[in-house]
A and B are shown apart, each in its own frame.
Chain A
Amino acid sequence: MTPAETFVVCVGLLLLAACLTGLFVRRRLAICVSFTLYLCAVLLSDTLVLAWPRTFKTWDFWVLKESIHNILKFGIALELTVRTFRAFPAARKTAAGLVLAVLVLTWVSVGTGPQLEAAHTKELALSLQPYVLAGTLWLFIAISTLILWYRLPVTPLHKALLLGFVPYLLIFTVAINLLRSFGGDVRALAGYLKNVAYQILLAYWTYAAWKRWPRRPATVATRGAASPPAA
């Protein structure tokens, strides 16, 4: 690893650790379990690459870690859907249909292309990754759209996750496509773009994890006492 690469990875690790500490200190680890797992997975994989680059800085390991990260990202999207919509039967039906549609669309776009015929792990990873990322991005966009449409309340952390993942996944998708389609300077530019976006994303999440939330209103104490107005 070059010194610049090491520096970038170290900054990322520090931000990840700060974010996890923030979630722990503010007792927010359970607000989105998949997100906590995702942060732990990224922290572990980046630490392995930093500590033993000869063993772990390989395409095989990259594919493995990205697959796990992608599954966890999908998990975050699904957990956000469940947590946000479970109390609203009407919105829940729409959300379920939309999530299913996005999953089918992703599966179709991944399954029908020539990308599965790639011979090497690197080619396969670079071919599949954009489709999976785009699918995850659509899932986050669909959830955000429904939250806006139904004017649903969300916790600040859930909002930070949606606002963070949507632009980051878009930039990641563009970067991966640039990596796949071009070489030389464009490839280097794509790498920088992705890294800058990643550091900004981690800084934003760290801020969200540590930020104090507004105090809960007193009406929470009246839970379950809602009654219909006299008709």
Chain B
Amino acid sequence: MWWMIVVSAASCLAVLFLFGRRNERAVRRDWELLLTPKGEKLYKSIEGRVQSEMALADLTYEEAFTVRELGSVQEAQKLLDAGYRVIEQFSPDMLRLLAAMATFSRMVSAMVPVQPLRPRDFRVAQIASLAYLNQLLHQFLVSMSERFRLRVYILGRSFALATTFLLHSTQRIVRNEPEADREWQQIDAIRHDFQTLTEESLLSLRALLTSLAAERHEDVIDRL
């Protein structure tokens, strides 16, 4: 009997800790956004914000590339740094969005089919490798929800990887380290991959919202 008590006490403490610190208001707000017409507004607002942030980063990087070609290296480095700041703020938001998507995907009984990431869409070798991994593991998973979560996980890892690479390349250029040309090429490739990852993330969000909206959740809406 005492082993039952020990197991129960451990589980009890874990449940109390996690349940006690759960923010009910945040849970309700998330569900409310997903299950009402607010969901569509949410998608549009996320899409708009993500695209404007990416456009801002793109603009800064374009400017940096142009200024560099004109010969003003210091100005180009400043712009590069500014571009990185935009991405630095944008990336955690995307990671949070992907994490929330993975959580809510557990609730869907019938997920809209999703395709794995295509390696040829990516220029950075490591991110392309992750896309290959996505394609491979995709074949081994049975349910659409699992495939969706795998895709979201790979997207998250790719975002983290791209941000790290961008930081390293930017730092090398700012510090005037040798082989700066290669770093500029790398930054161009990462920019491209960021754009692809963002589009793929929005595609996943749309799939999740469509799947959730297709289910009958009037009862939950009532409860909210």
Contact = CB atoms under 8 A, between A and B. Distances in A.
Contact of B15 (A145, A153, A222): A145
Contacts, number: 138
B133 to A, nearest CB: 26
Interface string A125-136: 000001100100
Interface of B: 1-2, 4-5, 8-9, 11-12, 15-16, 18-20, 22, 24-25, 27-28, 30-32, 35-40, 43-44, 103-104, 106-109, 112, 145, 206, 209-210, 213-224
B16 A167 contact: yes
Contacts of A216: 224
Interface of A: prevailing SS: helix
B27 A153 contact: yes
Contacts of A54: none
Contacts of A134: 1, 4-5, 8
A174 B5 contact: yes
13 contacts: A88-B220, A90-B107, A90-B109, A134-B5, A141-B12, A148-B19, A150-B107, A151-B107, A166-B15, A167-B16, A177-B5, A226-B37, A226-B39
Interface of A: 86-91, 93, 109, 130-131, 134, 137-138, 141, 144-145, 147-156, 159, 162-163, 166-167, 170, 173-174, 177, 214, 216-217, 219-220, 222-229, 231
Contacts of B44: 229
Given A90-B108, A141-B8, A141-B12, A229 B43 contact: yes
